[in-house]
């Protein structure tokens, strides 16, 4: 069995859904499990619905939701004829569930409602696509991932119950292949043992694909994207970025850790643990080879550049000349935990610590305010953090040209610099 994953961009129009359908039907002799995200920017719109609802702005929430309803029904109209009625009925069930919820006053915490509302994006997109493919006479089964993926109740970042989920797959998913060739299910969502919907964190659909692959012993996972392959840098910023034909699991997990937006960081472990290769391919041109990610090490990697903008550097300096190494550094790490912020890079001198953070304005302000009770604090915003794996001098020189390097750290494999 193979696992395919399609993201929001691959299904953001009628044309693109047809294209996705083509890719799925070309896998004819394979048993497929297809994991799909919400269409286009649906998740962002649903986040808006959740925020408005929780802020007590019920009418506005219903308004934003009704726009989503309309656009999904519209898409469906262009894709189905014989399946239209059944599909419309299914969509309307999902709509009603959300609208009922929106009519009540919130009594639980925000994250709970977020998940009950936001999970609907994937349910709608998969329902549309499954009916479209049924209309194309494929033997397709739509599957509610919430009946299979069991999690804890840490809403918005739920953790998988691997044992229970594995059993569900064995008992409920595997037997479906007797009658069907393709199973269509949702990325990003699951449910608790009390049947409450949960989400696995933004961009979590890649992770869902890896969970299915791991627990169903898939032969491979293919993530279909709007890029030709994994690139050595963002081609919009670095015109000489090159395609990378193969990468090891280790390399990808490091890249993701440093902020490369190739693949959701949690995706690699379930695949590496079962040695399941991951292909990144272009849905715009499936004939291109793409990138394969596996246990094989690629010894000819070019320098790989990860670019993180909107960075802040904070310097914390002890007021009384205490050494950083002693108590102060622990105090600071406690503060980071309280504010829920993690430095991307840090470096200390005798009496100061320099840290580079993502610029979450509220958190940064709070951190600076609290820390200034104990330290002299200076904040500099608007910086860029560059991480270069497999660097060479030429690349470093090119990247730092006309820029001021504020902070730099090197290991044999990786250079990181914060530049102004």
- Least distance in Å: CB of 205 to ligand ASP? 3
- Least distance in Å: CB of 46 to ligand ASP? 9
Q: Is 290 in the site for Mg ion (CB under 5 A)?
A: no
- Least distance in Å: CB of 7 to ligand ASP? 5
- Least distance in Å: CB of 43 to Mg ion? 7
**10 Å Cβ neighbour count for 15?**
9
Q: Is the distance from CB of 88 to CB of 127 less than 8 angstroms? A: no
- Tell me which of ligand ASP, Mg ion, none is bound by residue 187, counting a contact when its beta carbon lies within the kind-specific cut-off of 5 to 8 angstroms: ligand ASP
Tokens of 29: 């002799």
- CA–CA separation, 44 vs 71, rounded Å? 14
Among 10, 12, 20, 37, binds Mg ion (CB under 5 A): 37
Question: Roughly how many angstroms between the first and final C-alpha of the chain, as a whole number?
Answer: 49
- CA–CA separation, 371 vs 379, rounded Å? 12
User: Whose Cβ is closer to Mg ion: residue 7's or residue 303's?
Assistant: 7
- Least distance in Å: CB of 123 to ligand ASP? 11
User: Whose Cβ is closer to ligand ASP: residue 42's or residue 307's?
Assistant: 42
Helix (H, G, I), strand (E, B) or coil at 377: strand
User: Whose Cβ is closer to Mg ion: residue 7's or residue 277's?
Assistant: 7
Residues that bind ligand ASP (CB under 6 A): 7-8, 37-38, 43, 121, 187-188, 202-205
User: Whose Cβ is closer to ligand ASP: residue 37's or residue 75's?
Assistant: 37
Q: Is the distance from CB of 243 to CB of 255 less than 8 angstroms? A: no
Q: Is the distance from CB of 185 to CB of 143 less than 8 angstroms? A: yes
User: Whose Cβ is closer to ligand ASP: residue 48's or residue 366's?
Assistant: 48
Compute CA distances 53 → 48, 59, 199, whole Å.
8, 8, 18
Find the Cα–Cα–Cα–Cα dihedral 236, 239, 242, 247, rounded to 10°. Answer: -40
- Least distance in Å: CB of 204 to ligand ASP? 5
- Tell me which of ligand ASP, Mg ion, none is bound by residue 188, counting a contact when its beta carbon lies within the kind-specific cut-off of 5 to 8 angstroms: ligand ASP
- Tell me which of Mg ion, ligand ASP, none is bound by residue 111, counting a contact when its beta carbon lies within the kind-specific cut-off of 5 to 8 angstroms: none
Please give the angle made by the CA atoms of 48, 51 and 55, to the nearest 5 degrees.
140
- Tell me which of ligand ASP, Mg ion, none is bound by residue 218, counting a contact when its beta carbon lies within the kind-specific cut-off of 5 to 8 angstroms: none
R_g over Cα of the chain: 24
- Tell me which of ligand ASP, Mg ion, none is bound by residue 202, counting a contact when its beta carbon lies within the kind-specific cut-off of 5 to 8 angstroms: ligand ASP
Q: Is the distance from CB of 32 to CB of 125 less than 8 angstroms? A: no
User: Whose Cβ is closer to ligand ASP: residue 204's or residue 302's?
Assistant: 204
Stretch that binds Mg ion, among 31-39, 116-124, 211-219, 412-420 (CB under 5 A): 31-39
- Tell me which of ligand ASP, Mg ion, none is bound by residue 116, counting a contact when its beta carbon lies within the kind-specific cut-off of 5 to 8 angstroms: none
Residue 217, classified by CB atoms within 10 Å of its CB into exposed (0-12), middle (13-18) or buried (19+), is exposed
Q: For the packed helices 84-103 and 58-79, what is the interaxial angle rounded to 10 degrees?
A: 170
Size of the site for Mg ion (CB under 5 A): 3
**10 Å Cβ neighbour count for 257?**
12
Among 4, 5, 6, 8, binds Mg ion (CB under 5 A): 8
- CA–CA separation, 134 vs 142, rounded Å? 10
Stretch that binds Mg ion, among 7-15, 76-84, 173-181, 288-296 (CB under 5 A): 7-15
User: Whose Cβ is closer to ligand ASP: residue 7's or residue 343's?
Assistant: 7
Q: Is 187 in the site for Mg ion (CB under 5 A)?
A: no
- Least distance in Å: CB of 44 to ligand ASP? 7
- CA–CA separation, 105 vs 12, rounded Å? 32
User: Whose Cβ is closer to Mg ion: residue 8's or residue 21's?
Assistant: 8
Helix (H, G, I), strand (E, B) or coil at 8: helix
Q: Is 199 in the site for Mg ion (CB under 5 A)?
A: no
- CA–CA separation, 169 vs 143, rounded Å? 11
- Least distance in Å: CB of 37 to Mg ion? 4
Binding residues vs Mg ion (CB under 5 A): 7-8, 37
């Amino acid at each position: 069995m193979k696992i395919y994953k399609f993201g929001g961009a691959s299904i953001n129009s009628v044309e693109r859904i047809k294209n996705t359908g083509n890719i799925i039907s070309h896998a004819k002799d394979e048993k497929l499990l297809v994991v799909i995200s919400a269409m286009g920017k649906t998740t962002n719109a649903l986040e808006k619905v959740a925020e408005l609802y929780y802020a007590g702005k019920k009418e506005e929430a219903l308004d934003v939701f009704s726009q989503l309803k309309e656009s999904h029904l519209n898409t469906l109209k262009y894709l189905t004829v014989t399946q239209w009625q059944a599909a419309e009925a299914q969509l309307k069930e999902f709509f009603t569930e959300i609208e009922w919820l929106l009519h009540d006053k919130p009594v639980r915490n925000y994250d709970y409602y977020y998940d009950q509302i936001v999970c609907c994006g994937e349910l709608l997109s998969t329902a549309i696509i499954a009916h479209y493919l049924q209309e194309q006479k494929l033997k397709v089964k739509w599957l509610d991932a919430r009946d299979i993926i069991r999690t804890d109740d840490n809403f918005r970042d739920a953790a998988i119950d691997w044992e229970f989920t594995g059993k569900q797959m064995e008992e409920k998913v595997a037997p479906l292949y007797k009658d069907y060739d393709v199973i269509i299910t949702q990325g990003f969502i699951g449910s608790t043992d009390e049947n409450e919907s949960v989400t696995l964190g933004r961009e979590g659909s890649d992770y869902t694909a890896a969970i299915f692959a791991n627990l169903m012993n898939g032969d491979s996972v293919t993530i279909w994207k709007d890029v030709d392959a994994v690139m050595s840098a963002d081609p919009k910023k670095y015109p000489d970025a090159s395609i990378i034909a193969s990468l090891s699991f280790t390399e990808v997990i490091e890249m993701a850790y440093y902020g490369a937006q190739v693949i959701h960081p949690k995706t690699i472990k379930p695949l590496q643990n079962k040695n399941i290769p991951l292909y990144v391919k272009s849905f715009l041109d499936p004939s291109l080879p793409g990138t394969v990610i596996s246990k094989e090490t690629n010894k000819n990697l070019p320098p790989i550049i990860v670019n993180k903008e909107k960075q802040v550097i904070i310097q914390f300096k002890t007021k009384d000349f205490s050494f950083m190494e002693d108590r102060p550094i622990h105090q600071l790490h406690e503060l980071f935990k309280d504010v829920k912020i993690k430095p991307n890079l840090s470096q200390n001198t005798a009496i100061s610590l320099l840290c580079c953070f993502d610029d979450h304005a509220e958190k940064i302000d709070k951190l600076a305010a609290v820390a200034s009770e104990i330290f002299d604090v200076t904040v500099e915003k608007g910086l860029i953090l560059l991480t270069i794996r497999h660097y060479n001098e030429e690349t470093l020189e090119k990247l730092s040209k006309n820029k001021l390097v504020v902070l730099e750290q090197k290991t044999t494999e990786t250079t990181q610099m914060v530049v102004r």
